[in-house]
Amino acid sequence: MNPLKNEPPFTQELIMQRDRLSGELEQLRALLCECRSSVKFDLTHYAKAGRSYGNGNLGAEADSEANRLHGLLDKIDATLKEPKL
């Protein structure tokens, strides 16, 4: 039994589009979770490198990259917390 058969055609189309977009959004969320793992791994690497290299140029560059990755991680986390459709 089709639950949409009593709906007007325009409403049926909107509901089908919403369902399709919801599926695509879930796929993007899954990819974002994979990216988060890579960013977290790189962040840990650069944070450790920054500590090992100390206050020299390499240490400053590693700290700068760690800060950039930390900001990216914050953006990913904020996106993953957004409500689902």
Instruction: Kindly report, residue by residue over 57-74, the tens digit of the pLDDT.
Output: 999 999 999 999 999 999
Question: What's the rounded Cα separation, in Å, for the pair 66 and 57?
Answer: 14
Whether 1 shows a pLDDT value over 70: the answer reads no
Question: What's the rounded Cα separation, in Å, for the pair 85 and 81?
Answer: 12
Output the pLDDT for position 7.
66
Whether 13 shows a pLDDT value over 70: the answer reads yes
Question: What's the rounded Cα separation, in Å, for the pair 52 and 64?
Answer: 14
Structure tokens at 25: 């959004």
Output the pLDDT for position 11.
83
What global pTM score does this model have?
0.69
Question: What per-residue string of b and e applies to 25-63 under the rule 16 or more CB within 10 Å gives b?
Answer: eeeeeeeeeeebeebeebbeebbebbeeeeeeeeeeebb
Whether 22 shows a pLDDT value over 60: the answer reads yes
